[in-house]
Amino acid sequence: MVQEGQPAPAFTLKDAEGKPWSLEALRADGPVVLFFYPRDESPICTREVCAFRDAHQDFADAGATVVGISSDGEAAHEAFARKQRLNYLLLSDPGGKVRKAYGIPKTLGVVDGRATFVIDRSGIVRMAYAAQLVAEGHTRRALETVRALGPSGRPSEGR
């Protein structure tokens, strides 16, 4: 799995409306919290996406953009986002190519893994966290990391 201090793999994926988003464009305004989850509508995934939804203002206040990624299609994301009243992007990763680029292992060899990365404005991973069954821990750790980066979206000297 991609680790802290390494460059984040570049990607371009589509949102629920079919609009393409690149990592480069996403991080232009500040750090990006990128979380990979197994699938829409599963109980743990729903808890995780809702935890990010509920903390959205905290992330926005810290200058971060939150993005969720799974292999579900654009139509599934649109329905899921509407149902859960999500206030951030969900991107579709058909075939799991971006998930593979980030090196996220499958759980028990079959279920897509759950991992969260905080990527600074320079494209460097500042947090990498994987925990399949801990939905809310991803949000807490990501928010702590984003706040530590500060307004510039980059670590301060001496950190």
Catalytic residue (one of 13, 16, 32, 45):
45
Beta-strand runs (E) in 17-137: 20-22, 32-36, 65-70, 89-92, 115-119, 125-130
Residue 108 and residue 38: Cα distance in Å, rounded? Answer: 13
User: Annotated catalytic, 50?
Assistant: no
Other C-beta atoms lying within 10 Å of the C-beta of residue 146: 26
Q: In a 3-state reduction of DSSP, which class is residue 146?
A: helix
Q: Residue 151 contacts by C-beta under 8 Å, 6 or more apart in sequence?
A: 63
Residue 114 and residue 99: Cα distance in Å, rounded? Answer: 10
Q: 120 burial class (0-12, 13-18, 19+ CB within 10 angstroms)? A: buried
Q: Which residue shows structure tokens 């464009």?
A: 25
Which residues are catalytically annotated?
A: 45
